[in-house]
């Protein structure tokens, strides 16, 4: 039983006891008063009648007439005259007990016992007998019952007023208590919220202590997030130039080319600083570093402007830039060449670069892509400083090319039911499957094979078909869960989350699904949603989580500073992108970053899962670090 309910019941009990005590005391006093008055009436009437009878000097007839007249007019229960020698009374008149307005239980509970009045009747010194007179008690009961009703009504009104005041007081206490209970539950859920400090001294001290603890924990997590971000920069960024190091660049390139939601095609541009060693010896290390930084800054400008583009330093003299769109590599390469010619000429007249570019087309391996652009770079280097060579995509595609054709093909695939889910296991350290990742596949033609999202997702997003695709994936997952107990995971696009009504559409589908089905559903949001739509993420996590779905973030780790805010959003799990765990077994910086990341997220009560694990030694290292789950090429279904 809750504390508030106990307080309310205690208040009701106290009011009832006070009411009953007051009414009981009032009735007992009134009964005693009425009994006394009835006794005095009996005694006075008996004395007065005895004096009147004594005046008749023993005339039996006159005395009988007087007593009969008194009985008929005085509301008496009994009048009798007993001779001095005792025996049968010389006069006796009595009547039935009159019924009062009070109920029988009331008369039984509060009897009014008044003794009969007695007086001596005499003729001078000669005793004529003893007169006994007893009045009817019905009138006393009527007065007592009437008084009881009035007292009960008055005290009930007072009790109701006291109850209202007590309810207001309990309510005033309940609000800060409820706020602190909500704060404690939020802590249990991994969210750190503060509450208003109440005026009640005891609650004020408790609320102040809770708020101080929340702020301290928030500061700890934010500090840890900053440390994790620093470790990420150390593990993934080139210390001199700030661009991605080779490991991270190759990992991101592999994900972009071959990932389930990667981008088909794209282009690669590579820049080489010529004769770096001679430049270092001739002009000094600081001058060489300025040249390298200038090249890196030029590439970072494209990374910051182009959604999905990224740059990296492959070795001492080579830099690379990935462009997610096809057909723009030549213009980009020439713009880089011209811009860097002017910048490097101002730094060192002998500094030079060459540029190679390649359209990647249908390539899905990072090694093949790097080999293609390296071939172009070798040709440019052979021609001399500030030269450029390009490798065009020789592959042809039978897929539709215009956006209108893409939109029509995707819409027809949805309308004709040519959509299905792929299944990739996510396992825990002890082996059981946590869930199956279920990316959507489309057959863009009736006789075509299912194609991953990397082939059509970018076109679908440009055609604003993302919400329809995500809702179809959700419907397929719920249908599978109805017949298969293995949990399913569906990833939802950022554009879908930002679409008006999408959160409500997902909630509506969850509401009509059986509870045991929606409790086995995992919903994944991209990490970018934490930066761009944190309020939407929080609202979605609340609405979907209330219905039993597990809501989390995928491809995380790139915005480590944002991970420090996860305690506010009500999420349940975080999936770390492959580029942050690739090589964890052999690279000390990656190991340290992953270890700090796990410590931060596990401290918030979140489940931590590694994505894209491709080597057994990496998987073993991740288990040792405390990861809860993993997926990737090295992970297979048990049994």
- Quick: pLDDT tens for 414-430: 999 999 999 999 999 88
User: How many of the other CB atoms lie within 10 Å of CB of 51?
Assistant: 13
Residue 611 lies in a domain: yes
Of 527, 555, 524, 520, nearest in space to 433 by CA: 520
Tens of pLDDT, residues 534-551: 889 989 999 999 999 999
| CATH code for position 613 | 3.20.20.450
The answer on 407 and 376 residing in a single domain is no
Element (H, E) at 629: strand 629-630
CA dihedral 3, 9, 12, 17 (to 10 degrees): -120
- Of 277 and 454, which is predicted with more confidence? 277
The count of structural domains within the chain is 3
Collapsing DSSP states into helix, strand and coil, what is residue 84? coil
CB 89 within 8 A of CB 96: no
Which of 179-188, 443-452, 474-483, 628-637 is predicted most confidently?
474-483
> Does residue 472 belong to any structural domain of this protein?
yes
The kind and range of the H/E element at 601 are: helix 588-603
Phi, psi of 101 (to 5 degrees): -80, -15
What are the tokens at 40? 């005095």
Cα of first residue to Cα of last residue in the chain, in angstroms, is 48
pLDDT for the residue 469: 94
- CA 479/CA 462 separation, integer angstroms: 28
Note the pLDDT tens digit of each residue in 347-369.
Answer: 877 788 899 998 887 777 888 88
Backbone angles phi, psi at 217, to 5 degrees: -65, -40
Q: Of 134, 161, 188, which marks where a domain is finished?
A: 161
Q: Is residue 171 part of a domain?
A: no
Backbone angles phi, psi at 57, to 5 degrees: 55, 35
Same structural domain, 554 and 464: yes
Q: Crossing angle, helix 3-54 and helix 138-188, to 10 degrees?
A: 170
- The C-alpha atoms of residue 57 and residue 253 are separated, in whole angstroms, by 138
What's the half-sphere exposure (Cβ side, CA atoms, 13 Å) at 93?
18
Do both 143 and 248 map to the same domain?
Answer: no
- Asked whether residue 348 is assigned to any structural domain, the reply reads yes
Q: pLDDT (tens digit, 9 = 90+) per residue, 199-246?
A: 777 777 878 888 887 777 777 777 777 777 777 778 888 888 888 998
> Tokens at residue 518, please?
């929606």
Q: Are residues 435 and 346 in the same domain?
A: no
Residue 234 lies inside a defined structural domain of this protein = no
Of 230-234, 321-325, 433-437, the one with minimum mean pLDDT is 230-234
Model pTM? 0.62
The backbone torsions φ and ψ at residue 536, rounded to the nearest 5 degrees and listed phi first, read -65, -40
pLDDT per residue over 511-537, tens digit each? 999 999 999 999 999 988 888 888 899
Q: What is the pLDDT of residues 113-170, one digit of tens each?
A: 888 988 988 887 788 889 899 888 888 888 888 888 888 888 788 878 877 887 787 7
Question: Model confidence over 553-579: pLDDT tens digits?
Answer: 998 887 666 666 676 788 899 999 888
Residues 295 and 431 in one domain: no
Residue 574 has a pLDDT of: 93
The residue out of 365, 391, 417 marking a domain boundary is: 391
Domain identity same for 368 and 415: no
Residues 408 and 379 occupy one common structural domain: no
The CA radius of gyration of the chain, in Å to the nearest whole number, is 48
Distance (Å, whole) CA 607 – CA 628: 6
The reported pLDDT for the residue numbered 566 is 73
Model confidence band, residue 177 (pLDDT cutoffs 50, 70, 90): confident
Question: What are the two backbone dihedrals, phi and then psi, of residue 94, each rounded to the nearest 5 degrees?
Answer: -145, 160
CATH number at residue 82: 3.30.450
Boundary-marking domain end, from 161, 183, 209: 161
- 377 and 283 share a domain? yes
Beta strand 550-556 with 573-576: parallel, antiparallel or unpaired?
Answer: parallel
Instruction: Examine the domain organization and report whether 464 and 582 are in the same domain.
Output: yes
> Token digits for 119?
């007086």
Q: Is the dihedral of CA 587, 588, 591, 592 positive or negative?
A: negative
Q: Is residue 207 part of a domain?
A: no
pLDDT beyond 60 at 627: yes
Domain assignment present for residue 222? The answer is no
Beta-bridged to residue 271, according to DSSP, are 319, 355
Could you tell me if 56 and 128 lie in one domain? Answer: yes
User: Which pair of structure tokens corresponds to residue 594?
Assistant: 């992953």
Q: Please check the confidence at residue 400 and state whether its pLDDT lies above 50.
A: no
Asked if the structure places residue 520 within a domain, the reply is: yes
Q: Taking CA 298 as the corner, what is the angle to CA 297 and CA 303, rounded to the nearest 5 degrees? A: 85
Q: Give the residue numbers spanning the domain of 551.
A: 403-630
Confidence of residue 394 (pLDDT cuts 50, 70, 90): very low
305 and 371 fall within a common domain: yes
Q: How far apart are CA 545 and CA 202, in angstroms?
A: 34
* 252 shares a domain with 122: no
More confident residue, 6 or 136: 136
**pLDDT value of position 365:** 80
CATH number for 353: 3.30.70.270
Burial of residue 56 (CB within 10 Å: 0-12, 13-18, 19+) is: middle
């Amino acid at each position: 039983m809750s504390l508030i309910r106990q307080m309310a019941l205690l208040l009701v009990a106290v009011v009832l006891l006070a009411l009953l005590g007051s009414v009981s005391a009032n009735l007992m006093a009134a009964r005693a008063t009425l009994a006394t008055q009835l006794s005095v009436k009996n005694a006075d009437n008996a004395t007065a009648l005895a004096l009147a009878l004594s005046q008749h000097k023993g005339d039996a007839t006159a005395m009988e007439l007087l007593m009969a007249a008194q009985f008929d007019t005085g509301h008496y229960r009994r009048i009798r005259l007993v001779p001095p020698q005792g025996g049968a009374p010389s006069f006796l008149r009595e009547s039935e007990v009159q019924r009062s307005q009070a109920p029988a239980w009331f008369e039984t509970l509060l009897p009014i016992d008044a003794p009969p009045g007695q007086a001596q009747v005499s003729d001078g010194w000669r005793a004529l007998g003893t007169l006994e007179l007893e009045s009817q008690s019905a009138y006393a009961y009527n007065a007592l019952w009437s008084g009881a009703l009035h007292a009960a009504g008055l005290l009930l009104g007072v009790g109701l007023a006291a109850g209202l005041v007590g309810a207001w007081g309990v309510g005033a206490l309940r609000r800060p208590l409820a706020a602190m209970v909500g704060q404690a539950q939020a802590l249990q859920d991994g969210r750190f919220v503060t509450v208003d400090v109440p005026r009640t001294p005891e609650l004020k001290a408790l609320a102040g202590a809770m708020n101080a603890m929340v702020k301290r924990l928030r500061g700890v997590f934010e500090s840890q997030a900053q440390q994790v971000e620093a470790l990420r920069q150390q593990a993934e960024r080139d210390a001199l130039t700030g661009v991605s190091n080779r490991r991270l660049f190759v990992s991101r390139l592999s994900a972009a080319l071959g990932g389930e939601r990667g981008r088909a095609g794209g282009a690669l541009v590579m820049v080489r600083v010529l004769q770096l060693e001679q430049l270092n010896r001739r002009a000094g290390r600081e001058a060489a570093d300025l040249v390298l930084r200038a090249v890196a800054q030029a590439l970072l400008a494209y990374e910051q402007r182009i959604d999905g583009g990224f740059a990296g330093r492959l070795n001492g003299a080579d830099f690379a830039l990935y462009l997610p769109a096809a057909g723009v590599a030549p213009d980009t390469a020439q713009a880089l060449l011209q811009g860097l010619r002017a910048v490097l000429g101002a730094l060192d007249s002998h500094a030079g670069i060459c540029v190679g570019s390649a359209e990647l087309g249908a390539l899905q391996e990072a090694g093949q892509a790097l080999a293609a652009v390296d071939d172009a770079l070798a040709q440019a280097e052979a021609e001399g400083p500030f030269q450029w060579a390009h490798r065009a995509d020789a592959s042809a595609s039978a897929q539709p090319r215009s956006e209108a054709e893409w939109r029509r093909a995707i819409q027809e695939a949805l309308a004709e039911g040519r959509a299905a889910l792929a299944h990739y296991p996510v396992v825990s350290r002890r082996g059981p499957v946590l869930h199956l990742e279920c990316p959507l596949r489309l057959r863009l033609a009736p006789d075509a094979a299912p194609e991953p999202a990397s082939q059509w997702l970018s076109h679908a997003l440009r055609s604003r078909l993302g919400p329809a695709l995500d809702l179809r994936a959700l419907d397929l997952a719920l249908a599978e869960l109805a017949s298969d107990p293995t949990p399913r995971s569906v990833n939802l696009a950022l554009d879908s989350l930002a679409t008006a009504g999408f959160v409500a559409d997902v909630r509506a589908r969850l509401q009509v699904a059986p509870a045991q089905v929606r409790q086995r559903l995992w919903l994944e949001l991209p990490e970018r949603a934490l930066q761009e739509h944190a309020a939407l993420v929080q609202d979605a996590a609340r609405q979907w989580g209330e219905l039993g779905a597990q809501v989390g973030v995928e491809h995380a780790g790139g915005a480590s500073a944002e991970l420090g805010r996860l305690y506010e959003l009500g999420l349940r799990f975080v999936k770390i992108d492959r580029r942050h765990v690739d090589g964890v077994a052999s690279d000390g910086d990656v190991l340290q970053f992953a270890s700090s990341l796990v410590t931060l997220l596990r401290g918030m009560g979140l489940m931590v899962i590694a994505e894209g694990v491709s080597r057994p030694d990496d998987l073993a290292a991740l288990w040792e670090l405390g990861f809860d789950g993993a997926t990737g090429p090295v992970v297979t279904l048990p049994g």
